[in-house]
Amino acid sequence: MEQIGLSHIAITTGILLILTGLWGILTQKNIIKMIIGFSLFDTGIHIVMVGVGYVEGKTAPILDEAVQLKEAARQIVDPLPQAMVLTAIVIGIGITALMLAYALRLYQKNKTLDIQKFNDLKW
Amino acid sequence: MDLLTRILFTILGLFIIVNWGLLMTAIMRKLTARVGRRVGIRWYQPWINLVKLYSNRNSIQHGVMFQLGPVFRLLGGVGIVMFMPLIYGSELFSNFSFAGDLVIILYIKFFGMLGMALGAGEGGHPYSAIGVSRGLSQVTTVELPFTLAIIALAVQYNTLSLEEIVAAQQGGIMNWTLFTNPVATLAALLSMLGIFMHSPFNLHKAPNEIPIGPPTEYHSSYLGILRTNAAILHVIEAILFMNLFFGGATSWPILIVKTFLIYFVSIFVGVVFPRFRIEQSVSWFLRVPLALGIVAIILIL
Amino acid sequence: MVEPIYIVASGLGIAFLLGLFRKTGESLPGLIMLLTLAFMTFVSGQWLISLMFEGGTPQYTYTAGFKPPFSINLLMGQSEAVITTMVNGVGLLGGLYLLDRLKAQGVNSMIVFLLLFVGLNVVVMTRDLFNLFVFLEVSSVAIVGLVLLERSTQSLSAGFKYLLATALISGILLIGIILIYQYAGSLYIDDLVRANLTAVKGGMVAVFLILIAVALELKPFPANGWGLDLYQGAHPGLGALVSGGFATAMVFVLYKLLPMAGGGWQYMMATLGAVTFIGSNLLGIKQGHAKRLLGYSSVGQIGLLMIVVGLSQHLGEALTAIACGLLVSHFLAKSGLFWLAGIIQKDGLRDWAVLRKKPFLLVLFGTFIFALVGFPPFPSFFAKWELIMQLSAAEGFAWAGIVLFGSLLEGIYLFRWLGYSIKLDHQELPSFRLPWQKILPVGISGVALYILGYFATPIASGAGSLSYLPLAFIVLVFLLDFLPARVKNVLSLAGMAFYGYMIMPGLYENDGLRFLFSIIFVIGGILTLLPGFAYTGKRRGFYPAALLMFAGLGQLLTAETLLQFFFAWELMTVGSYILIIRGKRSMRHGYTYMLFSVGGAFLMLAGFGIAYATSGMTSLEALGQVTQWAGWASALIAIGFMTKTATLGLHIWLPGAHAEAESDVSPMVSAILLKAGVFGLLLLFISMGAESAGSKPLFYVLGWLGAITALIANLTAVFQEDAKRLLAYSSIGQLGYILFAFAIMTHVGWLAGFTYTINHFMYKAILFLVVGGIVMRLKTHNMYEMGGLIKRMPYSFIAVLIGIIALSGLPPLSGFAGKWLFYNAGIEKGWYLQGGVVFFSGIIAFLYLYRLIHSVFLGQLKDRHRTVKEISPWFLVPAYVLILGIMAFSANPEWFLKPFGQITAPYFPDSQLTWQSDGTAVGQLGYWNGTQVMAIVMALFVAITLWLIMLNRNAKKVKQFNIVYAAESPETPETTHISYNLYAGYNKALGVLTRPGITGLWNWISEAVTELADQVRRIYSGNGQTYVLHVLTYVVIVYLITTGGL
């Protein structure tokens, strides 16, 4: 059996966060809480991404004194997942911001943040 | 045979038919009266009636179609005569039957009916329209078993030519359709009651309700033509049945006897049974007669 | 040529630069935005032309100078060029449309608008998965940003739900991407396709997550409440962008990514598409809100495209053409409809009647509807045809069935909507403004549909030399619609005459059957156009529709391939639909007619598919070469044709449609149009060849169907009070005879069929013309309100008299020829009982014919009709021309029957009718000489008439009411004229047979479908959380099904 490593912990944590986030989105009636749920969900995904991209025993993909240029390919983890995570975090923040903007406008108009009050459009 | 001879013999045949029809009508009325313990008319009364009607000097009319109605009506009656072979084996009395077969006889019948209905319609009398609607309604179902019987015959004899149908029945009474195809004959005979339109199937003129039905507005020579036509129709339709089911006729006396007996059937029934309401008579023909007709068809399948 | 990267670069660059213009007002940035979009469209259009027509080569653009997988790269290939052109095109037009909105919202909204299209372009062109994700997010966020153009609560809540759902979907996509990278070590799509990822379990999950995310972006039923809410809640201009731009791009993404997965997954995708196509269109049936309905339709169409993409391996080389044809039609039509919705600003479907205030908008609306359902000449028609043919060729009959069924469901609500807008009252509705920048995009979409349709023709197998000349003429007449009706009538007649001159001599030389029908279609067309001169005013829309119908009919005859035939068939349907729905109370009837037509056409299409698949031929001969499933093919096609001949069960559209149509339309659709179905059936019968063991049951059933149709229809006609309805039911009955006669499949049977066909054409035209003329004079259809009109309209009376004598089949007129042949054929064939039923129907016909002539012309003239004039000569002249035809047929049946015999002889060489030298026809059973019968009857008639005149020369004409009436005079014509419920007794006896059982059945079906739709659509609760749950459940269920867990 393989030893439980850092990446496994990261992935497990990430999945738990994803599930927590989904639970929040699905059960909380308050829009703000739902947005928090989404944030957790998003963060969970990011952690999973990092976990998947991590390789045991390698170092961060930054060229400094710890990493020799010639040895780089062998010593560092694949930088691409990390780059992707960075982009994903930016996008996630964008979406969260937009959600909050909507929450604000909805509240200004209707003085409520209960998602169940916004079901005029249906069928 | 040249055209003129043919026309002259056709007129002769027609003349005999008209007079026999008038006489037969008188006899039947006499019989009916006797059954009802009445004296009845004199045997020559129909001729007197006709003479009176044709010589009426006062007459009115309601329009062109009103006048054409009797024309169409008589055209229907005479038309059947035209296409009907009267005496089997007699070239002289086969009229113009070479121009068309049984189908034309079946359809030209309706010509007279339609003409009557149209003329009566322009007369504008409400009873006329009521009578027509009843008469037409009844005709639809009356004709159905009859047609099925005819289809059965056409298949049996493999022809639609009346001449050949009669020919096939020669050589003894057992060759008559009556015995070779009793089911079809029975179906047709039941239909015949409706074709002759005597009681119980005479609601279209219903003497006590809508005086005489369609011809209510007709009088004088118009009515004369209609009466003449009635006489022709009684005989010629009996001749049709005779040709189809009872071996045809090889001479005038046989024709007279057979048509009398055929016509008598409908009078006999009429004396015994009271009048049907229209929905009753319409559905009556869809029961036993139609069932018989279908059986006749199934037998030839 | 401009590099594709400049599409992205210009969009992004200008979007950032626009930020500098916050202070300059909104006009300049607006102009810059439009120019940028125009530039983007120009670049992609340039590539499109280069790649499609000039043999250019696809181009890869590598960023940062590295080759993939170490860099992001963009591909501009043929498909990409098509899609980006469409996306940028909708961007340009949509930007123009939304310009005032965008200006009102400020420069930021313009930036967002540009970013949306930058995102979509990259999504289409990129070959890198993560890049795709990023720009997909850009587009989604931009859409949600643009929702804010409309700041109502509805709009806001719809946007929030949309955001929630897309955020979740992007999460799924992200997990998929990282897993892909884990297993493949690359995000370059071409690598991934080669990698065969689905072989490993984890890779399979990764691929699944990616594909399901893309599928979810397409808003598949039933996990699409968030999308529908957006369509409903957002500004319609945005709806157009989402439907035309975003969905278009996403379909392409699906197409791009699907090769990553194996064959089974493609079927899965096609299945998801099928569920969406059927489900979404089903729910549309109950929908009353215009924008939401457009959403349903949009989702449905995308489902259809999912099917196409999923089944791509079966479509072969035709795939691109099919997909493009469908996509471009949906794209143009749907954006056009959304834009229209924005112009008239009406949510209720019924309020769309307001379109009639600007008739050209109604024309555009109709164009979009017909394009969506797939009528010619739009690209979707050719694409759908080819789709069905290719699916059939691959033996995917179930898929073909799904496509057709879904399209029918879509037709149900689209044509109801069209009917509302054509017919409902619009006086009360307020007017709307028509700014040019809103009209222009709609107009361009509409015109583009026609132009692209013309160029899309070669998509379809067997398009051959499809002639657009008649259509060009119709367009001309349409453009001249502002002229008075008389001028257009002359023009139309000239066109018809020229068309006849073009096609009839050729048909006369080569093909007797088609020549016979060309007489009915072309000469009949000319005769029934003549009454148009009786109309004043402009009669807008009448002539293009009538000519469209006649062009379709004519092209049926000249068609050489299955496609040309179907093309003509659908043209005819469109034209006749418009004609029929013009009637005052025809909304419902036009709608029913259209539904039956569409349903019938789809059945035909399915049958043609089988024929094409098994024979491998595109020409009409394919029908005769069906080697497998021949029974299915024949039955499907026969049912298709029988919707037009209104055979019992499929007849319920006819009475209303024919009765409520305008006076001169009724003879067109009754006497002429119905014959198209007859012609189709004949073609089918001929191609099936002589009766074989396989086809015998079909003909047997058709024979009985014809007989029962005749009986029930004639019986129903007896009880009608409405003259035109009576004639309409009579038509159903007559068509029953025709079906019966042709199904006999013998020489004499076919002679009877032809005789009935040509006779029905003549007498039904006469009767409908005269009755139509009377209706124009009296303004009523009810016979009991007429009466005694023989005095006022003697010429009409004579025409009707001759018409009914011919119809009833009395000798000596031509109708008897049919009866005589029918007896001979029926007995010869051995169809005794069926024959009996037909005969019975024939006798019943007397009842309604008498009712017609008596109630209208005989009996008592009504007071208010004492001064009414004879009907217009424009109605009488064609009627009398046709009477001449009837007389010619009656006096000389051989003139007609001998040519019929020649037509029939090649197919039935045995047991022909023989002709003696004196003109007597001799069959196996009977004989008949029409000329002699005519002579005898006429001689008798003359003799008796003369005799009667002699006897009654003194008869005095009396006035009305001078009747034997208990020595009184009746008070009013109303109480004396016996007409209402004339056959009461008959009704008591047999009326039970005419209770509308079949209508009831169809009503029940339609109610059941509507109720089902109503129940199912309740899953869209309106709650954002429910929608999220739908998405999650959808993912789980689809996963379980794909992996076989369910």
Dump pLDDT digits (tens) for C894-904. Answer: 999 999 998 88
Residue C713, min C-alpha distance to chain A (Å): 42
Is the per-residue pLDDT at A72 higher than 70?
A: no
Mean pLDDT of all residues belonging to chain C:
92
- pLDDT tens string A2-28: 567 778 888 899 999 999 999 999 999
d(CA C165, CA C540): 48
What is residue B202's predicted lDDT score, i.e. its pLDDT?
A: 85
CA-wise closest residue to C592 among C663, C643, C662, C638: C643
B274 or B10: whose pLDDT is higher? B10
Q: B148, C832: Cβ pair inside 8 Å?
A: yes
Measured between CB atoms, which of C788, C926, C964 is closest to B216? Answer: C964
Q: Residue range B25-43: average pLDDT?
A: 91
User: Whole-model pTM above 0.90?
Assistant: yes
Which of C153, C163, C233 faces A99 most closely, judged by CB atoms?
C163
Q: Domain containing A73: what range?
A: 6-117
Q: Do B104 and C983 touch (CB under 8 A)?
A: no
Cβ separation B154–C985 shorter than 8 A: no
pLDDT at B79: 93
Q: Which residues of A touch C293 (CB under 8 A)?
A: none
The two tokens of residue C696 are 């015998």
CB contact under 8 A, A99 and C160: yes
Is the pair A, B in contact (3+ CB pairs within 8 Å)? no
Distance CA(C336)–CA(C324), nearest Å, equals 18
Mean pLDDT along residues C434-459: 92
Instruction: Answer yes or no: do B100 and C928 touch at CB < 8 A.
Output: yes
Q: Give domain status of residue A110, yes or no.
A: yes
User: Across the interface, do C167 and A38 touch by the CB < 8 Å criterion?
Assistant: yes
**Pairing status of strand C956-957 against strand B60-61:** parallel
The model's pLDDT over C685-712, given as tens digits with 9 standing for 90+, comes to 988 877 777 788 889 999 999 999 999 9
SS3 C693: coil
Average the pLDDT over C414-433 and give the result: 90
CATH of the domain at A89: 1.10.287.3510
Q: Does C990 touch chain B (CB under 8 A)?
A: yes
Where on the phi/psi map is residue C289: left (φ > 0), alpha (ψ -120 to 50), or beta? beta
A74 has a pLDDT exceeding 80: no
Segment C598-612 mean pLDDT:
95
- Round to whole Å and give the CA distance between C880 and C893: 19
How many Å lie between the alpha carbon of C328 and the closest alpha carbon of chain B? 59
* Cross-chain Cβ contact C932/B64 below 8 Å: no
The reply to whether residue A95 touches residue C167, judged by beta carbons under 8 angstroms, is yes
The percent of chain A in helix, strand and coil, each rounded to the nearest 5, is 70, 5, 30
Q: Please compute the mean of the pLDDT values over residues B14-42 and round it to a whole number.
A: 93
Query: pLDDT per residue over B81-115, tens digit each?
Result: 999 999 998 888 888 888 888 999 999 988 888 88
Chains that touch C (3 or more CB pairs under 8 A): A, B
Question: pLDDT tens across C966-1008, in order?
Answer: 788 888 888 889 899 999 999 999 999 888 888 999 999 999 9
pLDDT of B220 over the 90 cut:
no
Higher-scoring residue by pLDDT: C56, A57? C56
Contact between chains at C1028 and A26 (C-beta distance less than 8 A)? yes
B105: contact with C, CB 8 A cutoff: no
Confidence band for B36, pLDDT divided at 50, 70 and 90: confident
Q: Is residue A1 part of a domain?
A: no
Across the interface, whether the CB atoms of A42 and C1029 are under 8 A apart is answered: no
The reply to whether C638 touches chain B by the CB within 8 Å rule is no
* Confidence band of C765 (pLDDT split at 50, 70, 90): very high
* Region of poorest pLDDT, from C56-70, C529-543, C841-855: C56-70
From CA C475, how far away is CA C548, in angstroms rounded?
10
Q: Does B27 touch chain C (CB under 8 A)?
A: no
pLDDT tens digit string along B37-60?
A: 999 999 999 999 999 999 988 888
Chain B from 232 to 261: CB within 8 A of any C CB: none
- pLDDT band of B274, cuts 50, 70, 90: confident
Residue ranges of E strands in C592-653: none
Burial class (CB in 10 A: 0-12, 13-18, 19+), C426: middle
Q: Which of C855, C948, C971 to mutate to test the interface with B (most CBs of B within 10 A)?
A: C948
Question: What pLDDT is recorded for position A2?
Answer: 56
Taking contacts as CB-CB distances below 8 angstroms, the residues of chain C near B151 are 826-827, 832, 835-836
Q: Which residue from C920, C735, C750, C904 is spatially nearest to C821, judged by alpha carbons?
A: C750
* Alpha-carbon distances of C691 from B26, B275, C602, C700, C907, rounded to whole Å: 57, 50, 26, 10, 11
pLDDT digits (tens, 9 = 90+) for C133-175: 999 999 999 999 999 888 888 999 999 999 999 999 999 999 9
Q: Which residues of C touch A116 (CB under 8 A)?
A: 1023
Q: Are strands C73-76 and C927-928 parallel, antiparallel or unpaired?
A: unpaired
Asked whether the beta carbons of residue A80 and residue C1018 sit closer than 8 angstroms, the reply is no
Q: Which residues contact B233 (CB under 8 A, 6 or more apart)?
A: B21, B77, B80, B112
Model confidence at C784, in pLDDT bands (50, 70, 90)? very high
Contact C1017, B168 (CB under 8 A): no
Return all residues near C278 (Cβ < 8 A) that are at least 6 apart.
C303, C402, C405, C406, C409
Tokens of residue A120, six digits: 């005029």
8 A C-beta contact, residue C717 and residue C729: yes
| Cβ neighbours of B104 in C, within 8 Å | 811, 816, 820, 928, 933
How large is the average pLDDT for residues B158-176? 93
Neighbouring residues of A70: CB distance < 8 A, sequence distance ≥ 6: none
Torsion sign across C-alpha atoms A102, A106, A111, A113: negative
Binary contact (C986, B279; C-beta < 8 A): yes
Mean pLDDT, all residues of chain B: 91
Kindly determine whether residue B107 and residue C952, on different chains, have CB atoms separated by under 8 Å.
Answer: no
Angle at C842 between CA C996 and CA C739, to 5 degrees: 75
pLDDT in tens, C707-747: 999 999 999 999 999 999 999 999 999 999 999 999 999 99
Write out the two tokens for C923: 């069959």
Instruction: Report ipTM (2 d.p.).
Output: 0.96
Integer CA distances (angstroms), C348 to C229, C296, C443, in order: 16, 15, 23
- The string of pLDDT tens digits covering residues C212-259 is 999 999 999 999 999 999 999 999 999 999 999 999 999 999 999 998
- CA distances C677 to C18, C556, C597, C684, Å, are 62, 11, 11, 11
Beta bridge partners of C75: C60
Per CB-CB distance under 8 Å, the chain C contacts of B74 are 944
CB < 8 Å from C in window 43-72 of B: 54, 57, 59-65, 67-68, 70-71
C852 lies within 8 A of chain B by CB:
no
Number of domains in chain A: 1
User: Per mean pLDDT, which of A87-96, C61-70, C430-439 is the most reliable?
Assistant: A87-96
C-beta separation of A43 from A100 below 8 A: no
d(CA C194, CA A11): 28
Sorting pLDDT into bands at 50, 70 and 90, what band is C1045?
A: low
| Nearest chain C residue to B278, by CA | C985
Tell me whether residues A94 and C137 touch, CB distance under 8 A: yes
Q: List chain B domain ranges.
A: 3-300
List residues of A whose CB lies inside 8 A of any C CB. 18, 22, 25-27, 31, 34, 38, 41-42, 45, 48-49, 52-53, 80-81, 84, 87-88, 91, 94-95, 98-99, 102-103, 105-106, 109-110, 115-116, 118-123
Least confident of A114-123, C366-375, C483-492, C1012-1021: A114-123
In a domain, A123, yes or no: no
**pLDDT confidence tier of residue B20, bands split at 50, 70 and 90:** very high
Which residues in chain C have their CB less than 8 angstroms from residue A22's CB?
A: 1032
Mean pLDDT score, C450-467:
88
Q: How confident is the model at residue A1 (pLDDT cuts 50, 70, 90)?
A: very low
Q: State the pLDDT at residue C193.
A: 87
- CB of A82 closer than 8 Å to CB of C125: no
pLDDT in tens, C916-954: 888 899 988 899 999 999 999 999 999 999 998 888 888
C793 touches chain B (CB under 8 A): no
Q: Which residue on chain C is closest to B104 by alpha carbon? A: C811
Question: C944 vs B78: CB contact, 8 Å cut-off?
Answer: yes
